[in-house]
């Protein structure tokens, strides 16, 4: 009887334990609901290779967070207008938008500041890792963190260092101009002299060798639509030491100042030493002539050439020397014995969360994954097929990048130096319109439709005043002040 009682008690204990354990059953880690299970995050991306990382990381984000990433590709020439239309309608269709940092004046009312997230997770996205030239000029607006840099686009000055190193050319240049061939050129006047000196015809000698093609001293990407960038490369230093698009106190345009006029005249002067048809050149034409054909001595472009320094074609001469690409900051202007050089930094792509997004926390998790410091973002930065340029200290200091591409450190160090004097583009409501007016009239002047540079820029200034009235001059003054905060 005692044994039977003991067996019954044991059975009841086992049974009760089983029931209790069943009620508190542990869920295996792989069975736990992910943080954003079933959430869809829609991102607007520049179509083409810029969209590739989003597609690549979509399965990773699904596995990591449970969310579905919906990629909406829009071409570069439509992304501004289509996104503005969607944002102003407040449809909530977009969670994350990619856009040019210079458009923030129009986008600000619809963009979610990221400051609270940064405080909450102790800056896991790494704003402290972003170079000041990008962080201050692109991500901060009115003292708030409104975006994270996606693509550290900026511009660098390139030149044929192999040609500059030729002793015969060095001697001939000094004999003609009375000063040593500068390596690299520091001022726009030097660029004019060098462009004149090196512009030669097929059959003439270059670096002691016979040219197989015509050779040109300088070239801009001068097609209507983005030619205003190449004007601004001059406008800013020609108005040193205090360059401004407007008088900060009155919003009176400075786009037709004496410095602004001199900048446009410099642009026209260099056309004499540029390839025929350069006024129709976009990215492909300039890159091909300079990097593939070996027929251009100096040019300014995005950082693609710097990253692809080892693909430079030999000079278009018989028995060409080994090609060497020179890289430096954009030329400047000497004022009071000091040379002022600036690097335009607002041609870059950034990403922001939309205020009307219903999935803001999930969107921020996506931004951290894509753009935070670490192997994911660095991998795309290192891939020349993607087109995302470096923007972080961790990019520029990457040991992995240096080991993978010997010689890349020259480009990285020279770009870092150039970015020490970063200069913002115009970022006020309607900036797209202001810049388009500038672009149109610069293009018309270069094509010969104005009698002089002053007449062209007076038209721009008058139109800018009209735009100030349209948007409200006092409001615009407040927005303009935010650029420098």
Q: What is the CATH number of the domain that holds 399?
A: 3.40.190.10
Are 144 and 163 found together in one domain? Answer: no
- Residue 314, in any domain of the structure: yes
Q: Give yes or no: residues 238 and 340 share one domain.
A: yes
For the chain, how many structural domains are there in total? Answer: 2
pLDDT at 251 (0 to 100): 98
Q: Are residues 266 and 166 in the same domain?
A: yes
Residue 18, domain member (yes or no): no
pLDDT for the residue numbered 32:
63
> Is 228 a domain residue?
yes
Measuring CA to CA, which residue among 415, 265, 262, 273 is closest to residue 335? Answer: 262
Per the rule left: phi > 0, alpha: psi between -120 and 50, beta: everything else, 90 is left
- For residue 243, is it within any domain? yes
Identify whether residues 292 and 208 lie together within a single domain.
yes
Query: Quick check: is 133 in a domain?
Result: yes
Do 243 and 276 contact (CB within 8 A), yes or no?
no
Strand ranges for 315-455 from DSSP E:
325-328, 333-335, 338-340, 343-344, 349-353, 422-423
Residue 229 and residue 166 share a domain: yes
Q: Rounded to an integer, what distance in angstroms lies between the CA atom of residue 126 and that of residue 148?
A: 9
Decide if 184 is inside a domain: yes
Contact yes or no for 96/370 (Cβ under 8 A):
no
Helix (H, G, I), strand (E, B) or coil at 70: strand
Q: State the residue range of the domain holding 391.
A: 40-151+348-406
**One domain, residues 206 and 337:** yes
Q: Which residue numbers in the chain have pLDDT < 50?
A: 1-29
Whether residue 132 contacts residue 152, with contact meaning beta carbons closer than 8 Å, is answered with no
Burial class of 167 by CB neighbour count within 10 A (0 to 12, 13 to 18, 19+): exposed
Domain boundary (406, 431, 446) is at: 406
Interatomic CA distance for residues 4 and 479, integer angstroms: 89
Q: DSSP assignment of 229-297, as one string?
A: HHHHHHHHHHTTTS--SB-TTT--B-TTSHHHHHHHHHHHHHHTTS-TTGGG--HHHHHIIIIIS--BS
Q: Is residue 178 part of a domain?
A: yes
- Both 106 and 217 in a single domain? no
The answer on 227 and 168 residing in a single domain is yes
Task: State residue 283's pLDDT score.
Answer: 92
**In the listed set 303, 326, 344, which residue is the last one of a domain according to the structure?**
344
Residues 356 and 306 reside in one and the same domain: no
In this structure, is residue 233 part of a structural domain? Answer: yes
64 and 178 assigned to the same domain: no
Domain boundary among the residues 291, 310, 344 is at 344
Q: How many residues does the chain have?
A: 485
Model confidence, pTM: 0.87
Helical (H) or strand (E) element with 157: strand 155-160
199 and 289 fall within a common domain? yes
Residues 352, 256 share a domain: no
């Amino acid at each position: 009887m005692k044994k039977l009682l003991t067996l019954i008690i044991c059975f009841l204990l086992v049974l009760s334990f089983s029931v209790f354990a069943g009620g508190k059953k542990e869920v295996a880690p792989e069975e736990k609901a992910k943080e954003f299970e079933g959430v869809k995050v829609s991102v607007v991306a520049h179509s083409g290779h810029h969209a590739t990382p989003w597609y690549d990381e979509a399965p990773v984000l699904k596995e990591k967070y449970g969310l579905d990433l919906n990629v909406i590709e829009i071409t570069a020439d439509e992304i501004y207008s289509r996104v503005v239309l969607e944002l102003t309608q407040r449809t909530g269709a977009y969670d994350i938008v990619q856009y040019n940092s210079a458009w923030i004046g129009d986008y600000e009312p619809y963009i979610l500041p990221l400051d609270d997230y940064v405080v909450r997770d102790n800056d896991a996205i790494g704003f402290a890792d972003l170079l000041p030239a990008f962080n201050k000029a692109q991500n901060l607006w009115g003292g708030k963190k409104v975006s994270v840099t996606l693509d550290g686009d900026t511009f660098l000055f390139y030149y044929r260092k192999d040609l500059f190193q030729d002793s015969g050319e060095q001697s001939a240049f000094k004999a003609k101009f009375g000063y040593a061939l500068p390596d690299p050129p520091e001022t726009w006047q030097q660029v004019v002299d060098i462009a004149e000196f090196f512009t030669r015809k097929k059959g003439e000698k270059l670096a002691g060798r016979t040219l197989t093609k015509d050779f040109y001293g300088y070239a801009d990407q001068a097609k209507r639509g983005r030619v205003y960038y190449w004007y601004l490369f001059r406008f800013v230093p020609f108005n040193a030491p205090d360059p401004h698009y407007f008088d900060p106190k009155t919003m009176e345009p400075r786009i037709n100042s004496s410095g602004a006029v001199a900048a446009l005249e410099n642009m026209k002067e260099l056309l004499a030493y540029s390839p025929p048809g350069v006024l129709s050149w976009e990215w492909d034409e300039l890159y091909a002539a300079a990097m593939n054909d070996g027929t251009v001595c100096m040019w300014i472009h995005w950082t693609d050439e710097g990253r692809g320094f080892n693909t430079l074609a030999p000079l278009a001469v018989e028995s060409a020397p080994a090609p060497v690409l020179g890289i430096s900051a954009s030329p400047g202007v000497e004022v009071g014995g000091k040379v002022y050089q600036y690097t335009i930094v607002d041609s870059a792509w950034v990403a922001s969360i939309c205020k009307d997004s219903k999935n803001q926390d999930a969107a921020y998790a996506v931004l951290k994954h894509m753009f935070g410091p670490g192997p994911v973002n660095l991998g795309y930065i290192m891939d020349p097929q993607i087109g995302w340029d470096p923007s972080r200290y961790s990019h520029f200091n990457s040991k992995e990048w240096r080991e993978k591409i010997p010689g890349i450190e020259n480009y990285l160090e020279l770009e870092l130096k150039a970015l020490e004097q970063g200069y913002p583009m115009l970022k006020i409501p309607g900036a797209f319109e202001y810049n388009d007016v500038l672009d149109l009239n610069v293009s018309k002047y270069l094509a010969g439709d104005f009698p002089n540079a002053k007449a062209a820029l007076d038209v721009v200034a008058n139109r800018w005043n009209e735009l100030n009235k349209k948007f409200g001059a006092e409001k615009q003054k407040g927005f303009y002040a935010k650029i420098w905060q």
